[in-house]
Structure 1
Amino acid sequence: MDIITTTGLSSAPVELVERKGAGHPDTLADGVAEAVSRAYSHYCRDRFGAILHHNTDKTALLGGSSTVRFGHGEMTAPIIVMVNGRMSYRFGDERIPVEDIVTRAAREYLADALPLLDAGMWVDVRTRLTQASSPGAVDGKAAEADAARQRWFAPRSLDDLAERRRMFANDTSAGVGYAPLGIAEDLALGVENHLSGEAFQKEHPYYGTDIKIMVVRNGRQVHLTACVPQIARRTPDLDTYVARRAQVRRFIEEQAARIAPDFRVTVAVNTRDDDKRPELYLTATGSSIESGDEGVVGRGNRANGLISMLRPWSAEGVSGKNPVYHVGKLYNLAAAEVAKRLHASCGQPVAVALVSQSGRDLHDPWQAIVQSAGREPLPNAVVRETVTEVMEGLDGLREDLLAGKVATA
């Protein structure tokens, strides 16, 4: 592992941060992809003793349609879930019930994320899964050897899983993380988590969870715009809608005062509303996925739950990637952990990039790049020790991913 350390990182006077909430179509797509990967991983490990090769990180949702009016909201066409990617359908002579695993996982996830959605009726799951190997499968006698590339998605036994011999990076890619969060990031996360949280939703069941937060900070002046849906069947008239829009603005202002007491925060809510027409953010299920909007893995929040436009970032869609050796998942999460630990030890803002090299030992990144805010770069020895500790803990990270304890969007 090559170590590159540098200085020059500073706390920016300006922040631009977005968070797509729990019910946003892109967040739902990430959630479905990760739920399918978890379900498939559990099935394979329980049945065969290992997680077979798969990736569902190209999953997309196509919005259904609905009709809403005050006091009434209903679905009229289903949401289409397109689970795209690759997945092993067989292990030796045993066929894996992939369609059942995928369909059940997708519907259960959406039913939990959108309790007002009848997922059995209004979620149409379609799989687009292949078993073609990545480049490297060369015809000839090598195809009959153990762990041959041709057996990547059709293993005859556990001996055909190359990663059981040597855990290696599947791609040349980079994972990025940083610490600490800025005040705009704290606001975006804190406000959305509060509005989508179980306690708030129980107390205010007329708000949906397809919430989007955009925060712009310039020095100590912060502008926050929120889009917050209301549930049609629980909103009897325009006056109620308008009153609740004002109410949620007050809730956001209260949260902002708690999170950022030393900043001047102005809040706007549902700025597209036209009360006279009326055209309002009124929904049947609490999400725009019910009315034609689309969701795609990787278009929404990064692995830390934010879209921070002025921060270092990776374009990788983390959700749905194989948790065993896909660096697009593991290195992004590991880089964030390295940054967190380095920041805790040095007290300075830190940004970290871990760069993989396809085929290289997974636990030994090709490059580790660390930028800090101090006058002197962080010592290479400290960086190496921290990165090594985090990479040696990948088994624990995998277990947390399989248990659903680690967010990927």
Structure 2
Amino acid sequence: MARFSIERLGVKPVSEYTVEMVERKGVGHPDYIADAVSEAFSRELCKYYLREFGTILHHNVDKGLVVGGRANPRFGGGEVLEPIRIIVAGRAVTEVKKRGGGRVEVPVDELLEKAVKGFLRKNFRYLDVEKHVRFEGMIRSGSTDLVGIFNLKRGVPLANDTSFGVCFAPLTPTERLVLETEKLLNSAKFKKELPEVGEDIKVMALRIRDKIRLTISAAMISSLVPDKDHYLNVKEEVKRRVEDFSAKIVEGMDVEVNVNVGDKPRAGIFYLTVTGTSAEMGDDGNTGRGNRVNGLITPCRQMSLEATAGKNPVSHVGKIYN
């Protein structure tokens, strides 16, 4: 079988389609959290395996679930009534037989705790990892013989699954706009200037010919928003800044920006959160439902549905290829 095959695509570029749709789930979205926690856990396992045994041992911890809690956000304050639950399931080597005899237990639970708390503390300003989150590992144990592992390494590296990867380049203007808009809204500079905007941000673009409708869902931090007028002012400022930003990313296109379209001010419905994520109030997340590895969800492109987060970075071909 040929190793490489190059063929000209018989279709026009996506940027020339009449209709294009693109989405990005930001760092505070429950699906993003599930992906990020699975990946952080895999990294902690890799570091431990390398430090203690000199090689990355078998693991796939790619089944993450974020179970939404309950909260009572209100203008000027609020509280979390029931914590968010984060569950990670998968497989990992938890016991190693060493060369000179004896066994070493891998502290899987401690590594999971370090991964979860590390990600949340780094990325959320108003989420208390001790009070607002509970986590649980459901890692099926397995043991391995270290001597056998090193003997195997002398041969050709082997895949531990059948999978494939899909990629494309360059990004269309619409794809770039979606990617860069979320990064802008979750940047440290933006948070310093508009701290009321939480981390749970989702950006979706619908382009029809040369017109783009950009819909932004942005959680607001309730303790920093004293009243309805302040909320509406912040929302309008987000809209204005994204409009200015869009003009720098896409040229020759009309961009319409809408923020938190589900709000109903007359009915007292606003997108307020205590912690900055909708996971506090019943919004769940799953590993694999978030962005692809390029940070986007692009239904107009060829895509793999492979959930790369939490997969073994050495032997899982789906992760390596993607």
Q: TM-score, normalised by structure 1?
A: 0.74
- Partner of residue 280, structure 1: 270
- Partner of residue 40, structure 1: 45
Shift of 1:157: 1.5
Shift of 1:122: 2.1
Distance in 1, Cα, partners of 2:147 & 2:112: 23
Q: Residues 161 and 25 of structure 1: is their aligned pair in 2 closer, same or farther, counting only changes over 3 Å?
A: farther
The counterpart of 2:120, out of the listed 92, 110, 131, is: 110
One-letter amino acid matched to 2:31 = D
- Partner of residue 212, structure 1: 202
Task: Provide the aligned C-alpha RMSD in A.
Answer: 1.3
Q: Give the percent of matched residue pairs that are identical in Structure 1 and Structure 2.
A: 40
Q: TM-score, normalised by structure 2?
A: 0.93
Give secondary structure in 1 for the equivalent of 2:4: strand
Shift of 1:74: 2.0
Shift of 1:162: 7.0
One-letter amino acid matched to 1:129 = I
One-letter amino acid matched to 2:20 = E
**Structure 1 segments of 4+ aligned residues over 4 angstroms from their partners:** none
Residues paired across the two proteins, number: 311
CA-to-partner distance for each residue in 1:182-228, whole Å, 9 max, x for gaps?
A: 11100100110000011111221110111111101122111111111
Q: Residues 161 and 302 of structure 1: is their aligned pair in 2 closer, same or farther, counting only changes over 3 Å?
A: farther
Distance in 1, Cα, partners of 2:150 & 2:24: 38
The counterpart of 1:164, out of the listed 153, 169, 179, is: 153
Contact 2:26 2:200 in 1 (8 A): yes
- Partner of residue 91, structure 2: 86
Give secondary structure in 2 for the equivalent of 1:19: strand
Give secondary structure in 1 for the equivalent of 2:275: coil
CA-to-partner distance for each residue in 1:335-356, whole Å, 9 max, x for gaps?
A: xxxxxxxxxxxxxxxxxxxxxx
Shift of 1:302: 0.4
- Partner of residue 97, structure 1: 107
CA-to-partner distance for each residue in 1:89-120, whole Å, 9 max, x for gaps?
A: 11111111111111121122112221211102
Q: Residues 158 and 215 of structure 1: is their aligned pair in 2 closer, same or farther, counting only changes over 3 Å?
A: farther
Distance in 2, Cα, partners of 1:161 & 1:324: 14
The counterpart of 2:80, out of the listed 66, 75, 79, is: 75
- Partner of residue 181, structure 1: 171
One-letter amino acid matched to 2:40 = A
Q: Does 1:19 align with 2:29?
A: no
One-letter amino acid matched to 2:126 = L
The counterpart of 2:212, out of the listed 210, 219, 222, is: 222
Distance in 2, Cα, partners of 1:70 & 1:320: 38
Q: Does 1:316 align with 2:295?
A: no
Distance in 1, Cα, partners of 2:313 & 2:151: 15
Contact 1:71 1:237 in 2 (8 A): yes
Shift of 1:121: 2.2
Distance in 2, Cα, partners of 1:198 & 1:299: 26
One-letter amino acid matched to 1:315 = L
Distance in 1, Cα, partners of 2:56 & 2:192: 37
- Partner of residue 120, structure 1: 130
Distance in 2, Cα, partners of 1:241 & 1:158: 62
- Larger deviation: 208-217 or 164-173? 164-173
Distance in 1, Cα, partners of 2:181 & 2:248: 10
Contact 2:194 2:234 in 1 (8 A): no
Distance in 1, Cα, partners of 2:186 & 2:96: 41
Distance in 2, Cα, partners of 1:311 & 1:29: 24
Distance in 1, Cα, partners of 2:217 & 2:121: 22
- Partner of residue 353, structure 1: none
Shift of 1:161: 5.8
One-letter amino acid matched to 2:12 = S
Contact 1:108 1:119 in 2 (8 A): no
Shift of 1:312: 0.4
Distance in 2, Cα, partners of 1:216 & 1:154: 50
Contact 1:231 1:284 in 2 (8 A): yes
One-letter amino acid matched to 2:109 = E
Q: Does 1:62 align with 2:67?
A: yes
Distance in 1, Cα, partners of 2:259 & 2:147: 54
Contact 2:67 2:282 in 1 (8 A): yes
Distance in 1, Cα, partners of 2:227 & 2:167: 46
1:368-383 equivalent positions in 2, closer than 5 A: none
| Stretches of structure 2 lacking an aligned partner (at least 5 in a row) | 98-102
Shift of 1:249: 0.6
1:384-395 equivalent positions in 2, closer than 5 A: none
Q: Residues 9 and 114 of structure 1: is their aligned pair in 2 closer, same or farther, counting only changes over 3 Å?
A: same
Shift of 1:158: 4.0
